[in-house]
Amino acid sequence: MKECNSCGKCCTVYGSGGLSATQSEIQYWEVFRPDIARYVRGDHIWMNPSDGQQLERCPWLSKHPTADKYLCAIYYDRPDDCKHYPVTIEQMIEDECEMLEVRDLHNLRKAQKDLDKLMIDSRPGFE
């Protein structure tokens, strides 16, 4: 399995309504990051502050100006859904995640163990 190359596929796939945020995340944003909280409506995130409609793309995702990758403007304050991604190899396959290598596809069980090891610091309570 390769390291993340910031291809942005996960952000573009899930940034248009496929993510959620916990109440504690939303409360944190309301107090410390009102710029992020502007894009929250009830339990839904990445809503247009002007009309309340779901945005087609995460407002914090931008294309790197000189490289073929994406940048997250709220990386350290992004939702846990983003921090915990990817969870399963199947999810990575479906999303065409560029971290996968051919050898990962030939041994999904080992690839999942490698992924779990790689993501251990991103998933609280995971051992």
- Reading the chain (127 residues) residue by residue, the pLDDT tens digits are 888 889 888 888 888 888 889 999 999 999 999 999 999 998 899 999 999 999 999 999 999 888 889 999 999 999 988 888 888 999 999 989 999 999 999 999 999 999 888 887 776 654 4
Residue 26 lies in a domain: yes
Report the pLDDT value the prediction gives residue 86, as an integer from 0 to 100. Answer: 85
Contact 26, 108 (CB under 8 A): no
Report the pLDDT value the prediction gives residue 123, as an integer from 0 to 100. Answer: 63
Residue 126 lies in a domain: no
Residue 80 lies in a domain: yes
Residue 124 lies in a domain: no
Report the pLDDT value the prediction gives residue 15, as an integer from 0 to 100. Answer: 83
Residue 125 lies in a domain: no
Q: Residue 26 belongs to what H/E stretch?
A: helix 23-32
How many whole angstroms separate alpha carbon 28 and alpha carbon 41?
15
Report the pLDDT value the prediction gives residue 61, as an integer from 0 to 100. Answer: 93
Residue 87 lies in a domain: yes
Residue 123 lies in a domain: no
Report the pLDDT value the prediction gives residue 4, as an integer from 0 to 100. Answer: 87
The total domain count for the chain is 1
Residue 58 lies in a domain: yes
Read off the pTM: 0.80
Give residue 50's domain range.
9-118
Contact 82, 4 (CB under 8 A): no
